[in-house]
Structures are given as structure tokens and as C-alpha cells.
Structure 1
Amino acid sequence: MYEFKEETRALVDLVRRIVKDHQAPLETRILRGEKLTWADYEPGREAARKAGLWGLRLPPELSGTHLSLVDRLAIFEESFKCLAPIRFGGEVHHALFHLQGEQKARYLDPLLSDSKRYCFALTEPGGGSDPARAVSTYAKRDGGSWVINGSKSWVSFFDDADGVLVFARTAEEKCASGISIFAVEKGDPGLVARPVPMLGGFMTHQLTFESCRIDDVAFIGGEGAGFKVAQQQLSRARFEIGAEALGIAQRCYDMMVEHSKKRVVFESPLSEKQAVQSMIVDSWIEIQQHRLMLYTCAEKDDRGEDTRVEAGMIKMTGADMVDRIIDRAIQIHGAAGCTYESPLAHWYDLQRMARIYEGPNETHKYRMLARRLLA
């Protein structure tokens, strides 16, 4: 079993209080069938800001908390035990860390103050598992500006964003060094967005760029910087998916244990039935195994070691693990677990996508891990 250090436990306790005060009431509203907006999350965000949980991975010179990966994942794990997790602020994409001058004023400063938000557009209709060769969206310099043509699929959080960081090809050949980054604002001419609803009520967007013209200030990071930034972003997201899966799995486990003790069938509690005991024990073991792997790999990352393969492994095993545990929790709850008045049904829908986004599990298993093991 993995044990947190005292400082990490204190952060987890802090997040637990914020979730209880601000996020748990939002979960109740979701279970009543209400649709939440970004504004509904603001009290929890403000409480996190006042508690110093802002810019969790940013250095102090950017007004960040600069937490270790272990601490950040512990915070995410605790937050995601709630169906309405905290939406922490001060998050800045790697591409924007070192901006200067006009670019800093236009993009970095507003993100740090939370007056602007940008989403992330990498995947395209033609595929997303191999971004170095799958990116077809093309940006061409035209005088002092750039013209972008192409499309992006499954863009998350576009509704709540002011703009989008677009990964586009700036070289003719399809290779990693030919991908660059552009900041496109929602109001820029040539950007067309179509909402695409997903499982669990989650909303994504299809973005089309039809001779979308932007100025040179919106060219972020220099020629060919995009692929490295995308890899950094995806590795971070894969660790976070592992923590999210762990938090949800732990909550489902707690729910199944509590329900099994209360629910009486054939004159005895469910907790005395061997089949139920087996599901509960198997779930506990899987949670502890995943927790140990997640935080051991995070410690490795904090030491500066390369954890790209480990990030994919954590994403893959976490997505599989939480699927199994949600399914067991629903089975133990019976019909009560199948209603959207229970968080179990919501998680059942939402977590199905986790085996696909940020790289399908099969890609991580048969390409990344097999390639490493057979090298």
C-alpha cells in the first residue's frame, strides 16, 4: 500500500473540506437532473484559490503553487471522488510558460489571472493516435499573418473557453518537427464550431478552419514546437486520468461496501454473500495496486526521469480498473445503481471514454509498451 507524506495528507484534507462545502452540493444538483454551468463551479474555484491551490504546477514567479506531481495527483484523486470535481484555476499549457512581450500580455497574463481560458485542439477526423503523422490541418504564412485550413475533432471544454490552441502543420512533410502551435480566438473569422454531444452529457466540438487568418503574435513557441508540447500535455493528462480513475474507483468502492452492509437479501446482508465479498475484495486489491503504481511513477517523474511510457501505462490500467469497479458497484446496488439519481450511472457513461481519449488503450499496450519491452 502507498502512504502519503504528512504534507500531502494535509493538502488532501484541505481539498476534502472544499469538496464537502462546495462540490458535494453540486453533485446533488446533478443527480436531480440539473445542468451545471461554469459559473456553478466558481465558488469552489475561489475557495481553492484562497487556500493557495492555484496554478498547481506553475513556479512561484508565475504566482503558482509549484506542487510536485505526487501532490497534484493526490489532490485530483480526492477531488474526483465527487461527481462535480473542483475545476482548479491557473492552469497554463506548456507552450505558454516562457512567452515574453506582447505574447505574454495577450495570452499568459490573462490565463494566470483566470480572465481567459484556452482549450486544446490536436485530434483530427483522420485519426489521433499518431499525431506526428495524423495532423493534416495546415498553417501557411502570408505576409505578417498566418492562414489556417483544416479541422479538429473532439475538442473538449470549447464552450467555456475564449480560444483554442491549435496544432497545425507548418511543413510539407508529415513528421514531428513539422507541427506548430497557434492561438485562435473564438471570434476569429474562418473558425466554425459544431457541438458534438458525447456519453454522459459531456460536450465536445468539431472545429473547422476555413482560411482562418491570425496575426503573427498568435504563432506560439516557434516553428516545429508543437509536437514536443503535445507530448508533454498528453503525458500530464495521462497521469491525471490515472488519478481521476483512482478517485472514482475509491468512491465506488466505499459505496458498494456501505450498501452491502445495509441491503438485506434472504434474511442476511449482502456483505455476507460470497459473491459480493469477492467483488469487494477484488476491487480493494485493484485500487491498492493502481495507487501504488500511480504514485511510484509520479515520484519517478518528480525526480526528473522520463515517464512517458509509464504515463501511458497508468492511463491504460486506470481506465480499465475503474470500468471494472464501477460495473461491480452497479451490480451490488442492483437497479438503484442504474438510475441517474445515483452517481454510479453517470460514471458508467463518462468513464467509457477514458479507454479512448489521450490515446486508446490498445495503442498504449501494443505499440508503446510492446515496443519498449521488445526493444
Structure 2
Amino acid sequence: MKTPIRTLPPLRVLNLPLSDYSRVSKLQSILFKLHLLYKSSQSVSTPIPQPPPYLITSSFHPIYTFGRREATRTPPEPVLNLLSSNKAAIAYTPRGGQVTFHGPGQVVAYPILDLKRHGLSPRCYVRVLEKAVIRVLKKWGITAFTTEEAGVWVKNDRKIASIGVNLRRWVSSHGVALNVDTDLEWFKKIVACGLDGVEMWSMKKEWETQLENREGGGKITESLVGLLSKVDGKVFKKRVIEEVVSGIADGIGCESTQPITVEEVEELGKEYELSGEDGVEWLKYWDASGLYYRAKGDNIEMEGEERVPDDQMKMEESDLKDQNDTGPDEGAPLLFKAKRHYKGTENPILNDSYCSTGGPVL
């Protein structure tokens, strides 16, 4: 068990119900920007108070998210079919890695904290998230492990949790998604995380498999039947969330946790003039009608009705600058034709297997 850093304040936890991806991104951005603002304020005469570590837990309405380097990629046909029937959304996000799915039945945990304050290297931080999930699964009779690929696995070709973290000036955002009773059919529309031959798994699926492989009855079988009867209930998911939160808090060195509300987060945004829009400025939706959007907080700018063909993507450097886009390390350029405005409304992947201390954190 990691020895707590006693000077750390409690981990402030925002527990959200099933939510829109963009709303969670906005709240996350306020807390993320608050940490960055604190770092910037150290060079002025009146620095702001150092914010505590935060953690957002939630699950999302069905959405496929693409990593930063896939911003020009056209979604696969099965995903387009889901979009056209209003069954899912799609977003291009600032995280690293490749396409994945988020939806009901997942436990998503997004820690927002300064790794240096917690004495963590990026490699060790990823291991902290993985270890927290492994400990939770162990409590429920599921043996899990890590591989050279980020995430948590129950077999070399079965992945039960995905890791995706975004770091800026050592401040983290995004985090981990654990499949509890997620409908795994969603993942079959994509090559999840770009890993061919890998099947996305869930706690429910693992218990079903264990039950099928059990030859006798006995107490273990009865236990599995009981777990399967509870797995889709709110009480069970609440318990899993609490266990994930506890594991992360322990891993980052916090001795306790305290709740925080949406209203408190929004109040912090108002106090320090942090709208949270930066958290979703790279979020691009492709809705059912085939239109592309660039979401910014509560506003959505439609970037165009027609996507520029791939053979027209090669642009002169001067043209890219005229688009007022950022450099390649911050996000891919937006390449759309028209622009109109509408009102309305997860992390480079770190694949290192070892911490900087020289060994795995297991």
C-alpha cells in the first residue's frame, strides 16, 4: 500500500450520474484550468491558493471518441450507421490513443491533479490507475493484470478497462474507464484502441464466463449467480465507484476523500473566470445528419456540411496558420468549408510498463 503524503488535502470527489460527454468535459476543464492557473500565478505577487486534487466519476451516453491523431479519420461504416439512426454520438478529443467507446454500464474516473505534488511520474501515475482497478476486480473474484499496452486485462486478448490520460505541465485530466455491465456490442463496431484481435470485456461478461465454465454447483456458483443478479443495479455500481475512488485516493497518497458538487465546481469557474470551454474546444461531433460540430461550452459552432476529402487535406503551412489553429502538439487543424453558429450544447495514452523507479507497480 502506498504511504500517504500527509501534507495532501483530501481528494475532492464529484460523483455524476449518466451524463453527456461534453458536460463532464466542461466541468473537468474548470478544475484542470484551476490547477494550471495556480501554477501560472506563482510568478505574480498575489498567487491563488493551491487547489486540492479532484476526481470526477460518471458514465456517458453512447459515444465513440477518437484520439487527437485521428482528427482527420472518417469513422467506420458501422459507426456511421449508428449515428444516422441517432443511437450514438461521435467526438474527436484531445487525448492520445485511438478510437474507443463510452456508454452506460461503465465506471469512468477522471482525476485532476498535479503529479509532482503527489510524487508521481507519468509512468507511475498510469500504474496507480491500473492498480486501483485491479484491486477492485480482485475484491469481486476477477483476476486481472497489466500488459505492455495501457489498460487492465483479464486475458491477453480480453481488455476490461482502458486508460487514457492527458498531461499538461504535470497536471492530469481524463483517466480510466472500467466496463461493469457495458453492452459490449458497441465495441464490435470499431477496432477498440487500435488493437486487432483484442476483445473488450466486462465484469458481467467475466462472471458469465466463469459460471459457464463451472462444472459443479456449490457456493461459488451460487455466488456468481448472485453477482449477476446485482451487477446492473444502481447499488452495485455505487459500490464499485466507491471502491475505484478509494483505490485512486490511496494510490495518489490522499488519506481521505470529500464530496464536491457541480454547483461548487461552477462557482470556482466563476470566481477565477474559468468557463470550462477549453475543455471541449477540441470536441468535434458528427451528428446523425452528417454535420460536423466544434463544441465550446454551451455553444456549438457548425464547422461545415461537407468534410474536405482526404486528397485535399494537404495544405500549405501558410494556409494552416490562416485557419487560426494550434500546433500539432495541441490538436489537429479543423478542415471544413462553411461555418455557421448554433446555440446548444478521454489523454496521451501512456504505454510504459514500468515506473521511473525501475519496476512495475502491481
- Give the TM interval when normalised to the shorter protein: under 0.3
State the TM-score, normalized to the length of structure 1. Answer: 0.26
More strand by share: 2
State the TM-score, normalized to the length of structure 2. Answer: 0.26
